């Protein structure tokens, strides 16, 4: 990349970019082989996604009214574009208990595996080895993390839903028209609450999952970057999956393939957020100072060795001259 710095127009820009925290975070990812980590996270996430959706749909089918079930399906369409249409709500209503129990067991197994893969990947970005502990203890911890992540997700989604409801209630009570500027403000408010929900989840994932304690400022910035990135990916890839993937040359495999791409991009955004928290802004200057101190120490050591060698030679000349004087 050094040759880019020598170009007349973009050279200064490239030089500046390579000194930013974003570039140093990318270098951290590159050292951790982040494409492999993202691939592992994508596979386990894809496997765990279907039991998760099935459990949520089964619980909703047994507890919610028909209108609420439709609202849940619309919400799933927003969160996981292209896949919620495959769920047969009526069949889930008739077999909610059986389907929910089987899906819950599968979710426990696949969810623990997903948490383990996520933890190992995030710790790899930090350059940390996985702890050597009993496999059963580790699985129990992963189950606890999975349960905590589920609670965090429910709380964040509830906060987002309450915020959206409050915004629309206010507009309705005041009597404002939801078209024109007010409509755009509503869209911004809804996106803001969605970003807040993702932000809360990322605070949990970036700290408790890998077992690290990054500085608060880096953690907040990374969580904001990830939350905005997740919402942008949902908006961009959601439209693609609805309008293109189902009609693509892949036929019936169009939606799963697009879903894999969507999860992979999500995993890469999460890894970048982890790298942002793991990269020290003063990392390179400290290394340069350390190298300078080592160079000075080596120079002083060489000078000491030379001085000791010279003194030894003069001491050696003394005994050789003594017999000559005596003779």
Check pLDDT > 90 for residue 273. yes
Task: List, for residues 168-190, the tens digit of each pLDDT value.
Answer: 777 777 776 666 677 777 778 87
Domain that holds residue 244: 25-282
Per-residue pLDDT at 282: 62
Per-residue pLDDT at 223: 94
Q: How far is CA 326 from CA 139, 208, 253, 322, in A?
A: 87, 83, 103, 6
Task: List, for residues 292-314, the tens digit of each pLDDT value.
Answer: 444 444 555 454 544 444 444 44
Per-residue pLDDT at 218: 93
- Based on the structure, what is the number of domains in the chain? 1
Per-residue pLDDT at 245: 54
Check pLDDT > 90 for residue 281. no
Buried b (16+ CB within 10 A) or exposed e, 146-179: beebeebbeebbeebeebbeebeeebeeeeeeee
Indicate whether 6 belongs to any domain. no
Q: How far is CA 152 from CA 36, 208, 307, in A?
A: 28, 12, 67
Q: Quick check: 126 and 50 in contact, CB under 8 A?
A: no
Q: How far is CA 231 from CA 166, 190, 213, in A?
A: 21, 11, 25
State the chain's mean pLDDT as an integer: 75
Indicate whether 214 belongs to any domain. yes
Indicate whether 154 belongs to any domain. yes
Indicate whether 313 belongs to any domain. no
Indicate whether 173 belongs to any domain. yes
Indicate whether 309 belongs to any domain. no
Buried b (16+ CB within 10 A) or exposed e, 4-17: eeeeeeeeeebeee
What is the residue-wise DSSP string for 227-269? HHHHHHHHHHHHHHHHHTGGGSTTGGGHHHHHHHHHHHHHHHH
Per-residue pLDDT at 297: 47
What is the residue-wise DSSP string for 73-114? HHHHHHHSTTTGGG--HHHHHHTHHHHHHHHHHHHHHHHHHH
Nearest to 37 by CA among 278, 281, 283: 278
CA distance 70 to 84: 11
Neighbours of 214 (CB within 10 A): 19
Query: What is the pLDDT confidence band of residue 271, given thresholds at 50, 70 and 90?
Result: very high
Indicate whether 235 belongs to any domain. yes
């Amino acid at each position: 990349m050094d040759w880019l710095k020598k170009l007349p127009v973009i050279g200064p820009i490239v030089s500046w970019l390579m000194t930013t925290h974003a570039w140093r975070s990318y270098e951290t990812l590159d050292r951790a082989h982040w494409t492999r980590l993202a691939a592992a996270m994508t596979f386990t996430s894809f496997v765990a996604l279907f039991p998760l959706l099935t459990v949520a749909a089964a619980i909703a089918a047994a507890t919610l009214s028909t209108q609420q079930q439709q609202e849940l399906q619309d919400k799933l369409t927003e969160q996981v574009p292209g896949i919620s249409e495959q769920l047969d709500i009526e069949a889930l209503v008739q077999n909610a208990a059986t389907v929910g129990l089987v899906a819950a067991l599968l979710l426990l197994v696949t969810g623990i595996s997903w948490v383990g893969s996520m933890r190992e990947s995030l710790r790899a970005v930090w350059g940390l080895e996985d702890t050597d502990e009993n496999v059963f203890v580790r699985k129990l911890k992963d189950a606890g993390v999975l349960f905590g992540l589920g609670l965090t997700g429910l709380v964040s989604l509830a906060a987002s839903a309450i915020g959206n409801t409050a915004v629309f209630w206010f507009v309705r009570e005041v009597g404002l028209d939801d078209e024109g500027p007010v409509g755009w403000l509503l869209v911004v408010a809804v996106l803001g609450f969605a970003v807040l929900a993702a932000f809360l989840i990322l605070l949990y994932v970036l700290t408790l999952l890998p077992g690290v304690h990054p500085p608060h400022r880096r953690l907040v910035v990374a969580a904001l970057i990830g939350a905005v990135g997740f919402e942008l990916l949902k908006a961009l890839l959601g439209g693609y999956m609805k309008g293109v993937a189902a009609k693509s040359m892949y036929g019936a495999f169009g939606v799963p393939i697009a879903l894999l791409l969507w999860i992979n991009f999500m995993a890469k955004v999460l890894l970048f957020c982890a790298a942002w928290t793991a990269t020290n802004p003063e990392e390179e200057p400290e290394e340069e100072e350390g190298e300078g101190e080592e160079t000075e120490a080596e120079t002083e050591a060489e000078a000491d060795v030379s001085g000791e060698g010279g003194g030894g030679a003069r001491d050696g000349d003394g005994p050789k001259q003594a017999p000559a004087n005596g003779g």
